[in-house]
Chains A and B, each alone.
Chain A
């Protein structure tokens, strides 16, 4: 049986009037790499701190392998934490830092020596035992923090933005290392981050949080490809958002009206009527030369700006409905035939276009039409 299963039931934390975590339910399987992703202040760190035991929940239950630990003090919980700033004890050397937990558990000397050695080997820091933490680089400190937590063989390892203080290149390397390490040791990792790329790269599953609530839970691919809310679509990378009016299902797809144009969206609910939003990722937007009658699911527009970003070229296009959309074209070395003012046609493949019902849209009486028309006329 795998251990390290976490079950959060209607967990809430309030600080005075501020609701940091608002009644969340979460089920994390044993040996899973699970990420909590969200902007700062979304409640992800508070959730982690409640699981670690540094904060007491206002309401709700925390089950760790079936046992409610909500009121167990942190030093009696079988979870360990890698802190954002590592919190390595500056008065102890690497060996004593890693041995700290084993000493508290009163392990015999030879076992202690062996396990500290193994843990340091696991993070490739053998030979650094006598160094002080001030003599280590950021990446090395991060590994010591990892060894210090893993040496106790916890059921769950909590990681609070552990790569936040490192530079971009080192982060990439450590992302892969962390994932490999997690598969090696088979411990549940609960990873808190605001970096969507980090969460997508490493997680088995992730939860996107916003305002103390969970917006969506799923595998990285599901959350990225089929965002259920506008927030998720927007937070996970750049998305093109357009106001639209749903016209119900046509051939299993949702027909939407944007101004005087009609598009078919393959993603999201297909029977939306009334005000809605449609989203599409910039890398799925296809640029075509402008032609009078080019086919379905297309909008005419004019190139507003071409931005070189290295691996790709970002083309900002103002479409006929007045909105500015982004298309991301992979940099293949060929010169793009677009420049400011070039008329183009944007193709939105139906399977890449997704309808997200606007919040409270069911009550609204088709307000989108007027506004999009006036948007057209103002051009």
Chain B
């Protein structure tokens, strides 16, 4: 039995151990992780923010700030994104590829996902695994193989826009499949069974029940596909014919090596905003569609939600 007098006074702590205590206090918030996270955020974001800042610079310098202006977006009659034909073409080409990619890869990916998720039998496991292949193959390898394919085997394709679209679709489909398949697994078979039980043929069940339930995943994957297509450099570059078929990342790369101007920063900023908007929009649509599902008792711990946050 210890009395109050026997209890020792807490030892006097040095500043360093007090700091360590503050950092690792098991009853407080995980401060170590908070510090770590913020350090990483600053490290990752500051260069981007500086690049964005200099896209609004009033002079040709990319290092010395001389006041705010939008001349590199449209003001400058020669070198702005709007007036430089190379930059404008690149923007158009990038948007063209991304749009075509979304329109082609999303429907194919959805059908593949349904097929793979609902097909059990010989060969279903390897096929499911193979779907991840394009995600882990080094892009440069895929780019080379596609180039050889289009210039040696299917020579009618050649290089240029068609080849670039085919290339983008090839690797985008995997993303759609992974996101939609995750949703399919989480909603399970019960809704399809309920539809069949109430007299819906498999085709009607697909159209009336499965597709509406998959809609958040479909929209989310379309947003992801749009964003990664805009981002892509390697495959676009390998399959580009040069000139008009150069995309924004290719232009930025070329311009930065030659004679960099703040207009390069401007077009990079535009790309970044487009990517952010598409992914954010996809995520918001996902959230809006799946709201209330948790309360309804179905699980929403989806791979797709994780995949959205991953990007």
Does any Cβ of A come within 8 Å of B66's Cβ? no
User: Which chain A residues border B200 with CB–CB below 8 Å?
Assistant: 75, 100, 104
Secondary structure type dominating chain A contacts: mixed
A132 and B292 form a contact (CB under 8 A): yes
Q: How far is the CA of A81 from the CA of B196 in the complex (A)?
A: 10
Cα distance, A100 to B215, chains bound together (Å):
19
Q: Which residues of A contact B199 (CB under 8 A)?
A: 75-76, 101, 104-105, 152
The residue among A88, A89, A90 with the most chain B CB atoms within 10 A of its own CB is: A90
A residues near B, CB below 8 A? 52-54, 73-76, 79-81, 83, 85-91, 100-101, 104-105, 132-135, 138, 141, 148-149, 152, 165
The answer to whether B293 and A90 have CB atoms under 8 Å apart is: yes
The reply to whether A53 and B196 form a contact with Cβ atoms under 8 Å apart is yes
Looking at B190, B193, B194, B297, the one whose CB has the most chain A CB atoms below 10 A away is B194
User: Which residues in A have their C-beta under 8 angstroms from that of B201?
Assistant: 75
Give the contacts of B205-249 with A (CB-CB under 8 A): 208-209, 212-213, 215
Query: Given known contacts A134-B293, A134-B296, A135-B292, is B196 in contact with A85 (CB within 8 Å)?
Result: no
Question: B285 an interface residue at 8 Å Cβ cutoff?
Answer: no
How distant is B193 from chain A, measured CB to nearest CB, in Å? 5
Q: Which 7 A-B pairs have the closest CB atoms?
A: A134-B292, A101-B198, A104-B199, A87-B194, A134-B296, A87-B190, A74-B196
Least CB separation from B298: chain A residue: A90
Q: In the complex, what distance in Å separates the CA atom of A108 from the CA atom of B288?
A: 34
> B residues within 8 A CB of A54?
193, 196
Query: Roughly how many angstroms separate A101 CA and B200 CA in the complex, as a whole number?
Result: 8
> How distant is B198 from chain A, measured CB to nearest CB, in Å?
4
Contact A83 B190 (CB under 8 A): yes
Q: Is there a chain A Cβ closer than 8 Å to B154's Cβ?
A: no
A160 → chain B closest CB, angstroms: 10
- Within 8 Å CB of A81, what residues of B? 193-194, 197
* Chain A residue nearest to B208 in the complex (CB): A100
A367 to B209, CA, bound (A): 63
Bound CA–CA A81/B293 (angstroms) = 22
Question: Which B residues fall within an 8 A CB radius of A?
Answer: 190-191, 193-201, 204, 208-209, 212-213, 215, 292-293, 295-298
Q: Are A90 and B213 in contact (CB under 8 A)?
A: yes
CB–CB B193/A83 < 8 A: yes
- Please, which residue of chain A has its CB at the minimum distance from the CB of B292? A134
The distance from the CB of A81 to the nearest CB of chain B, in whole angstroms, is 5
10 contacts between A and B (CB under 8 A): A54-B196, A75-B195, A80-B198, A87-B190, A89-B213, A90-B298, A91-B212, A104-B204, A134-B293, A134-B295
Assembled-state Cα–Cα distance A101/B195 (Å): 8
Cβ of B197 and Cβ of A74 under 8 Å apart?
yes
Chain B residues with Cβ below 8 Å from A75 are: 195-201
Residues on the B chain within 8 Å of A165, using CB = 297
Residues of B within 8 A of A52 (CB): 193, 197
Task: A310 to B153: give the CA distance in the assembly, Å.
Answer: 82
* Bound CA span A91–B293, Å: 10
Chain B residue with the shortest CB-CB distance to A136: B296
| Chain A: minimal CB distance from B190 (Å) | 4
Contacts of B193 in A (CB 8 A): 52, 54, 74, 81, 83, 87
CB atoms of A73 and B196 under 8 A apart: yes
Contact across chains for B196 and A90 when beta carbons are under 8 A apart = no
Q: Smallest Cβ distance from B195 to chain A, in angstroms?
A: 7
Distance between B292 CB and nearest chain A CB, rounded to angstroms: 3
Q: State the Cβ distance, A76 to closest chain B Cβ, in Å.
A: 8
Asked whether B209 lies within 8 Å of A89 as measured between CB atoms, the reply is yes
Bound complex: CA A82 to CA B200 (Å): 16
Residues on A with C-beta less than 8 A from B196 are 53-54, 73-75
Q: Which residues of chain A come closer than 8 Å to B195, judged between CB atoms?
A: 75, 89, 100
Closest to A134 in B: B292
Chain B: which residue is nearest A92 at the CB level? B212
CB nearest neighbor in B for A105:
B199
Which residues does chain B contribute within 8 Å of A86, judged by CB atoms? 297
- Supply 8 further A-B pairs (C-beta < 8 A) apart from A54-B193, A134-B292: A52-B193, A81-B194, A83-B190, A89-B195, A91-B215, A104-B200, A141-B296, A148-B198
